[in-house]
Structure 1
Amino acid sequence: MVGTGSDRGQFIYAATTATAAAAMLYEYPMARNIALMIGTMVSNPHSMQLAAERWSQPEGGGDMDFAGIKQAVRTLRDECNEKEWWKGPACEAFNQSVDTFLEQMDKAEQYHQGVGQGMGSIANAYHWAAEVVTVVATVMLLLAGWNKLKPLFAPWPGAAAAIALAIFVTLTRMGMVVRGMLGKQMKSVAMLTAVVAGINFMCMSLGQFIEQSRPRPDFAPAAVEYVGDDSTGVGTLQPKNGGMPTMPTTGAGGMSAFV
Structure 2
Amino acid sequence: MLTVSDISKSFNTLPVLEHITFHVNHDEIVAVIGPSGCGKSTLLNIISGLCTADQGFISGADNAIACVFQDDRLLPWRTVWENISLVGDTEEPDRIHELINAVGLKGFENYYPGQLSGGMKKRCGIARAFYYRSGLLLLDEPFQGLDYCLRREMLQMLLRVWKEHKQSVLFVTHEIDEALTAASRIIVLSDRPGKIAQEFDLPEKEGRNPISSGLNKIRQEIIKRITS
Structure number, greater radius of gyration: 1
Judging by fraction of residues, say which structure has more strand.
2
Pick 1 or 2: higher relative contact order, CA cutoff 8 A, min separation 6: 2
Judging by fraction of residues, say which structure has more helix.
1
With the shorter chain as reference, the TM-score category is: under 0.3
TM-score normalised by the chain length of structure 1: 0.20
